[in-house]
Amino acid sequence: QVRVVESGGGLVQPGGSLRLSCVVSEFTLRNNAIGWFRQAPGKEREAIECVEGRGFLHTYVDSGRDRDRFLIAINNADNTASLEIRDVTPEDTAKYYCAAASACRRDGAGYPYWGQGTQVTVSS
């Protein structure tokens, strides 16, 4: 049974950084893809970035500033992924999800395997 588990969320001050981690079991990331999503209260879920096991990166955030703040990485050796978020603002407050699929896509419906999410709260 495929299992996806996120960790690393918490309370962070504006301007700070954090790194979220994702561990995937029974699904080899080397041959597939892993994506990060987030959902803020009262908002729709949005795609952030996705990386294929071969290393191809897909960025889904729209603004140039956000493209520079998010950094996804994949570690095929231990079947994990991470998302680094830099220079956080209160607008980054959301539940962050890691999801696995056969290929990267913006639509979360294309990811069959999801974690429970990890909460990130940005506040001073």
pLDDT tens for each residue of 10-30: 999 999 999 999 999 999 999
pLDDT at 1 over 90: yes
- Reported as a pLDDT band with limits 50, 70 and 90, residue 68 is confident
Pairing of strands 118-122, 10-12: parallel
Q: Express each pLDDT in 96-108 by its tens digit.
A: 999 999 999 999 9
Predicted local confidence at residue 82, as pLDDT: 97
pLDDT at 66 over 80: no
Task: Tell me what percent of the chain is helix, strand and coil, each rounded to the nearest 5.
Answer: 10, 50, 40
pLDDT at 64 over 90: no
Residue 97 to residue 22: CA distance in whole angstroms: 9
- Reported as a pLDDT band with limits 50, 70 and 90, residue 33 is very high
